[in-house]
A and B are shown apart, each in its own frame.
Chain A
Amino acid sequence: MEFIKPDINFDFVGKMKLAFGISMAMIIISFASIVWHGGLNYGIDFAGGTLVQVKFNVPFSIDKIREAFRPMGINNSIIQQYGPQEIVVRIPEGDSDLKGLSGRVEEALTNAFGKNAVEMRRVEMVGPKVGKDLTKKALLAILFSWIGMLIYIAWRFEFRYAAGGILALVHDTIITIGVFSLLNKEFDLTIVAALLTIIGYSINDTIVVFDRIRENSRKNIKQPLSEIINGSINQTLSRTILTSLTVIIVLVALFLFGGPVIHDFAFALIVGIVVGTYSSIFIAAPVVLAWEKWQPSKIRRKK
């Protein structure tokens, strides 16, 4: 079975300008969305606050829950249905008081719905200090992973390859975050984990293409780089599509069956893999070409 015919020769490099245009547009939209929403919709991991997941053993309505919370004075809480019998309450402030907001939420709900009517399934409280720490750590982790990739590719290949690879990575990261911002989805720790995974995956994809470019340019030194790059992308296209497909298959399984905690994580990965696959084909390699035009490599100049 073959999805991609072996003799395919699509002019990827010729579509370079179009691809750059599309990518620029997506990046601008991402930033615009973030600005429009006044920053990302940070989850409590970063913004601090309290999250309580409650399961009801009796019929309930959001209104009645809100009513129960009234005396507590947590009117700025967000109550969301979370599966058929569960709700999630998000309260922007953290509370280091021993009993904590979670204890008071439980008390209020028990009073309103009766004993044993509610089950506290999950409580997460992140104080502002920890939120700040985590934000810093997340930013550093992403930044250093970019730098780590840059160094590795520069070492294994050449710097211009590294530049192309990193640009593709930054591109993937920004657009994935942009999609989260556009859909106003919550941005928390697991999403950062997803971003780091995307960074690892996308560069993996890119390297397969680079590897082929390196191999082909050694074989035919006289051939112009643009032809080599285009040929290499076409030769590896089948693999690129296939691997992305298997990964997306499992991610869809995770997205559909993994439960609500994993839901957004799987979603972020799906977005990232799609964007990452696109950037490996249309962004990373063409950047190498652009770099070459701007500053030809020494090896080629000698020949």
Chain B
Amino acid sequence: MIKSIRIRAAITIVVCLVALFYLIPSLTNDLPEFWKKNLPADKIHLGLDLQGGMHLVLEVDTNKALEGTIERMSNDIKENLMEKKIRFRSISQAKNDSITLEFPDRPAREAFEKLLKDSYPDFEIASSEVRDGRELVIIRIKAKRAAEIKKLAVEQGLETIRNRVDQFGISEPEIIPQGDDRIIVQLPGVKDPGRAKNLIGRTALLEFKLLDEDHNLAEAMKGNIPEGDVIAYGSQIDRDSGRRTQVPYLVKNKTLMTGASLETAKVSIADRFGEPYVALKFNAQGAQDFDRITGENVKKRLAIVLDGVIHSAPVIQERISGGNAQITGSFTMDEAKDLAIVLRAGALPAPVTILEERTVGPSLGQDSIDKGLWSTIIGLMLVVLFMMIYYKASGVVANFALVLNIIILFGALAAFRATLTLPGIAGIVLVIGMAVDANVLIFERIREEVRGGKTPRASIEAGYSKAFLTILDSNVTTLIAALFLFGFGTGPVKGFAVTLTIGIIASMFTAIFVTRIIFDFFVWNRKIQTISV
């Protein structure tokens, strides 16, 4: 028996040492060098609600990505038809996944169908018929391809956002996909949430379009928009009042170039007023295109459109070679920096919307930690006091187990790299209350056995063995509940499930296994005659 006590004590000591070993990095800031290099140096990971930061759930508008692809395909088909001299009356995008074409006669229609089969494997014919004397063909993108495009849009969006966040300079961001079309972005310790949101969420589609100066803007505003034109707005800042006003422009719908031709973008300062602007550098192909476009349109106005808003519309003074351009405007330094970042990182393949946002400021996080620790300490002291008064020496044993339980709980949090959240701290407090339950069950049993006239040794034996199954059954049900909590929960609530689960499991070890060693030690080694319970 003495040997068994020694072995069990050794197991307990090893478990506690391991827990402490994982816990040490969280307790001190200056770990020795050899420790950092060779041993686990991770602190307990704090959730965003404790360390402060931003949690975003974004939804990628994958239908827009699909629409965009189909629009490009539709233009491509149109050009191909003209090149192949296949006559057609009209081509238009119907719903977001199909294109309707009308042909003058049957041979043209058949020629198109052949072309489609040969060159556009992504499309299938939804219907091809003569309706009211018109030769109509509706083609539709294949479902499998559509799903691919949508999936790709999410993947690319994720990559683009990751690029932007990396360049923004946030340590340990977490950017992960969720479900089919959602992206979760977690930015710990972000200082300016508004700026971060703007950086992440904007599409940043840069387009170069010509202004239509041949037609009258006022006429167009009345509703007579010339074919191939659109009205787009830009904003203008009145220098005196600082007020932004909306200015309409009549622009040609055709996009001459996009931000995809950029090689890089960076912030520079204009000499004269010290105003920041964004300097663009095109890649080789982009430089060639820009050279040609500016050459063809000297003295015309070129609109720089960002996400549908006209940023500026300077007059092209002369052919611009060398592939450099700049976006000026009334930027603040931060705005210019962020614009450069999003242009470098590239446009999102589809717009995103913010479905959910949770931001906690760093000071609130610290408050929560303080309050959490405070209530943990108070809760612990009250329970310890209660157990000592109610169960005397046995209560002290239970308290010892409780403290071990907490050490193991924190050690496990660090070892498993679990995240500690505010509800997680509440979970720890709850565990303190519930962990002594096992000891209460055992002690009540022992009291019963003692009252029944058994010797201390027999009472302890019976108390532990009878209470064990009860403790197991009752704890398993709590674990089942914790399991559902984990599955249901978002961030903070998951943290609660984690501490509850680890705490309950640790309590089975400390409250049953460890306390038994102490009781056995006194009964076998010291041969005590009465139990203080």
Q: A interface vs B, CB < 8 Å?
A: 1, 6, 53, 55, 96, 98-100, 102-103, 106, 119-127, 129-130, 134, 137-138, 140-142, 144-145, 148-149, 152-153, 156, 189-190, 192-193, 196-197, 199-201, 203-205, 207-208, 211-212, 215, 235-236, 238-239, 242-243, 245-251, 253-254, 256-259, 261-262, 265-266, 269
B440 and A98 within 8 A (CB): no
How many residue pairs link A and B with beta carbons under 8 A? The number is 231
Select one of B357, B477, B490 contacting A204, CB under 8 A: B477
Interface centre among B476, B484, B500 (most CB of A within 10 A): B484
B320 in the interface (beta carbon within 8 A)? no
B367 and A123 within 8 A (CB): no
B371 in the interface (beta carbon within 8 A)? yes
A106 to B359, CA, bound (A): 13
B460 in the interface (beta carbon within 8 A)? no
Chain A residues with Cβ below 8 Å from B57 are 130
Q: B interface vs A, CB < 8 Å?
A: 49, 57, 59, 193-194, 197-198, 201-202, 353-361, 363-364, 367-368, 371-372, 374-375, 378-380, 382-383, 386-387, 389-392, 422-423, 425-426, 429-430, 432-434, 436-437, 440-441, 444, 447-448, 451, 466, 469-470, 473-485, 487-490, 492-493, 496-497, 500
Whole-angstrom distance between the Cβ of B524 and the nearest chain A Cβ: 27
Whole-angstrom distance between the Cβ of A97 and the nearest chain B Cβ: 8
Interface centre among A99, A127, A153, A196 (most CB of B within 10 A): A196
B429 and A122 within 8 A (CB): no
- With A243-B440, A246-B383, A251-B430 known as contacts, the answer to whether A6 contacts B359 (CB < 8 A) is no
A190 to B485, CA, bound (A): 10
Chain B residues with Cβ below 8 Å from A207 are 470, 473-474, 477
A189 to B488, CA, bound (A): 10
B433 and A189 within 8 A (CB): no
Select one of A103, A124, A152, A266 contacting B477, CB under 8 A: A152
**Chain B, residue nearest A205 (CB):** B474
Chain B residues with Cβ below 8 Å from A269 are 430
What are 18 A-B pairs with beta-carbon distances under 8 A?
A102-B357, A120-B359, A122-B360, A130-B57, A149-B480, A152-B476, A197-B500, A200-B482, A203-B477, A204-B474, A239-B440, A243-B437, A243-B440, A246-B434, A250-B380, A253-B382, A259-B368, A261-B368
Whole-angstrom distance between the Cβ of A7 and the nearest chain B Cβ: 9
A127 and B371 within 8 A (CB): no
Given contacts A100-B197, A127-B354, 9 further A-B contacts (CB under 8 A): A141-B484, A142-B484, A144-B484, A152-B480, A193-B496, A197-B485, A247-B434, A256-B375, A266-B426
Chain A residues with Cβ below 8 Å from B497 are 193
B193 and A250 within 8 A (CB): no
**Chain A, residue nearest B434 (CB):** A247
**Chain A, residue nearest B362 (CB):** A121
- With A196-B488, A249-B382, A253-B429 known as contacts, the answer to whether A189 contacts B493 (CB < 8 A) is yes
Select one of A140, A152, A250 contacting B383, CB under 8 A: A250
A251 to B433, CA, bound (A): 8
A98 and B197 within 8 A (CB): yes
**Chain A, residue nearest B466 (CB):** A215
Whole-angstrom distance between the Cβ of B198 and the nearest chain A Cβ: 5
Whole-angstrom distance between the Cβ of A245 and the nearest chain B Cβ: 7
A6 and B378 within 8 A (CB): no
B359 and A246 within 8 A (CB): no
A293 to B361, CA, bound (A): 60
Chain A residues with Cβ below 8 Å from B371 are 257-259, 262
Interface centre among B355, B380, B451, B479 (most CB of A within 10 A): B355
A161 to B82, CA, bound (A): 79
Chain A residues with Cβ below 8 Å from B469 are 211
B359 and A123 within 8 A (CB): yes
B361 and A122 within 8 A (CB): yes
B359 and A196 within 8 A (CB): no
Chain A residues with Cβ below 8 Å from B375 are 253-254, 256-258, 262
